[in-house]
Amino acid sequence: MTFSGRRVVLGVSGGIASYKACTVARRLTQAGASVDVVLTTSGAEFVRPVTFEALTGRPVLTSLWDRGRALDHIRLAQDADLMVVAPATANLIARVAQGIADDVLSAILLASPGKILLAPAMNDKMFANPATTKNLDILAARGWKTVGPAVGDLAEGESDQPGRMSEPEEILVEAERLLRSGGPLEGKRVVVTAGPTREPLDPVRIISNRSSGLMGFELARAAYAMGAEVRVVAGPTVASPPIGPILIRVETTDELARAVAEEVQEADMLIMAAAPADYAAVDVSTEKKPRGEGTISLVMKSTPDVLQSTSGRRKVGCYCIGFALETGDGLDRAREKMHKKNLDMIVYNRADQEDGGMEGRNNKVVLLTGSSEKDLPVMSKREVAEEILQTALIDA
């Protein structure tokens, strides 16, 4: 959604990580961006221009002297919504920090009035060199953003120091965040809970529920893309956590309650998408209970209502969103929960509806606030997350 119809210039300088720029170019194009790749001479030694032309469906700029394209670099710099440089080598970083524009990519970067994201990639010693640190500080002071570098394998072998270029997925997450920067969630602290909790019966058996964690993770992802500082408190999930937000793993409802009580104190927004187990066993056996014949009975006690218990702990002005998972027509029950738990919004969804609720990729929800009711059609959980946040921002 974010990249659709946007103009992105992807600068590729020469390092072994240049091959990963192909994935960045492809993903941006698939997301609907118009991608102009600008290759340095050494970048073109690693990946041929024709590869990027095939991936983006657009001509690639490799030199200031391409015939008939003399002013293209200035036009590209001015028209771009975002510039991403991946990989950004130590040499490129040094040249642009000093204002040198001796090739097409450095010239575009110097002429760019807009948002720039660098993905540095180099030998770990080169990255640790004070010259590189200083050059990156200069660029940061100019408002340029960086992603990575990460710790991990380099072309020359393993390293436990940063130097390796961030993975394309991570670069795309930061590119989206930069593109969307300047909105109302920028710099705000958002706490999201996700997934089920599980309560032990003995060392091997648990009681849990079907929550995959996807809805909460999509909310965390969307809030991060909108510029928020996001903490996600998650139980054991099937879905993978999003890149960007800080992840706090918990197992039981008690652990969730403790983590949320801690995190909510600084939260500007709390989104309780988790499905905590409502009951825990009174006696948890330390030994695996042997299998027997016939039936067994479990004595269980209710767990704390995490959301309700935050009511007195929330920061003044904290916008609070809960979920109500119901079977049958539960709109009134959802509204009751909203008042009882002192919420600004409740997301009503049905556990007994196809394409709704816990396990799928889609959801069908009604968003209830103090002043509005929005009955949404079936959508992907990613789209639902956007709708929830947009509605919250209007309502807040």
The catalytic site residues sit at 209
Site string for ligand CTP, 291-320 (x = CB under 6 A): ------------x-xxx-------------
Q: Cα separation of 241 and 247, whole Å?
A: 8
Q: Cα separation of 281 and 289, whole Å?
A: 13
First CA to last CA distance, the chain: 23
Could you say whether residue 385 binds ligand CTP (CB under 6 A)? Answer: no
Helices (H) and strands (E) in the chain, counts: 14, 21
Could you say whether residue 216 binds ligand CTP (CB under 6 A)? Answer: no
Q: Please give the size of the binding site for ligand CTP, defined by CB under 6 A.
A: 14
Instruction: Answer whether 358's CB lies under 8 Å from 379's CB.
Output: no
Which is closer to ligand CTP, CB of 112 or CB of 237?
237
Could you say whether residue 323 binds ligand CTP (CB under 6 A)? Answer: yes
Phi first, then psi: what are they for 12, rounded to 5°?
-125, 110
Could you say whether residue 252 binds ligand CTP (CB under 6 A)? Answer: no
Which is closer to ligand CTP, CB of 109 or CB of 274?
274
CB 256 → ligand CTP: shortest distance, Å?
A: 8
CB 382 → ligand CTP: shortest distance, Å?
A: 19
Q: Which stretch binds ligand CTP (CB under 6 A): 17-25, 53-61, 274-282, 375-383?
A: 274-282
CB count within 10 Å of CB 339 equals 10
Which is closer to ligand CTP, CB of 145 or CB of 374?
374
Q: Which stretch binds ligand CTP (CB under 6 A): 2-10, 61-69, 311-319, 321-329?
A: 321-329
Could you say whether residue 217 binds ligand CTP (CB under 6 A)? Answer: no
CB 148 → ligand CTP: shortest distance, Å?
A: 34
Tokens 């988790």, located at residue: 274
Instruction: Answer whether 396's CB lies under 8 Å from 226's CB.
Output: no
Could you say whether residue 274 binds ligand CTP (CB under 6 A)? Answer: yes
CB 325 → ligand CTP: shortest distance, Å?
A: 4
CA angle 381, 383, 387 (to 5 degrees): 110
Burial of residue 30 (number of CB atoms within 10 Å: 0-12, 13-18, 19+): exposed
Q: Cβ contacts of residue 358 below 8 Å, gap of 6+?
A: 209, 210, 211, 212, 275, 325, 351
Could you say whether residue 253 binds ligand CTP (CB under 6 A)? Answer: yes
Which is closer to ligand CTP, CB of 241 or CB of 276?
276
Site string for ligand CTP, 33-52 (x = CB under 6 A): --------------------
Which is closer to ligand CTP, CB of 127 or CB of 323?
323
Q: Which stretch binds ligand CTP (CB under 6 A): 62-70, 174-182, 230-238, 269-277?
A: 269-277
Q: What's at 121, amino acid-wise?
A: A
Could you say whether residue 189 binds ligand CTP (CB under 6 A)? Answer: no
Ranges of beta strands (E only) in 147-216 are 150-151, 162-164, 189-194, 199-200, 206-207
Q: How far is CA 343 from CA 139, 271, 272, 370, in A?
A: 43, 10, 10, 9
Q: Cα separation of 52 and 198, whole Å?
A: 47
CB 317 → ligand CTP: shortest distance, Å?
A: 20
Q: How far is CA 80 from the centre of its chain?
A: 23
CB 302 → ligand CTP: shortest distance, Å?
A: 8
Site string for ligand CTP, 326-355 (x = CB under 6 A): -----------x------------------
User: What are the residue ranges of helices labelled H in the chain?
Assistant: 18-30, 41-46, 49-56, 72-79, 90-97, 104-111, 124-128, 130-141, 168-179, 214-225, 253-263, 306-309, 331-340, 381-395
Q: Which stretch binds ligand CTP (CB under 6 A): 59-67, 209-217, 270-278, 379-387?
A: 270-278
Tokens 């492809």, located at residue: 26
Could you say whether residue 322 binds ligand CTP (CB under 6 A)? Answer: yes
CA dihedral (153, 154, 156, 158) in degrees, to 10, reads -30
Binding positions for ligand CTP, rule: CB under 6 A: 253, 272, 274, 276, 278, 303, 305-307, 322-325, 337
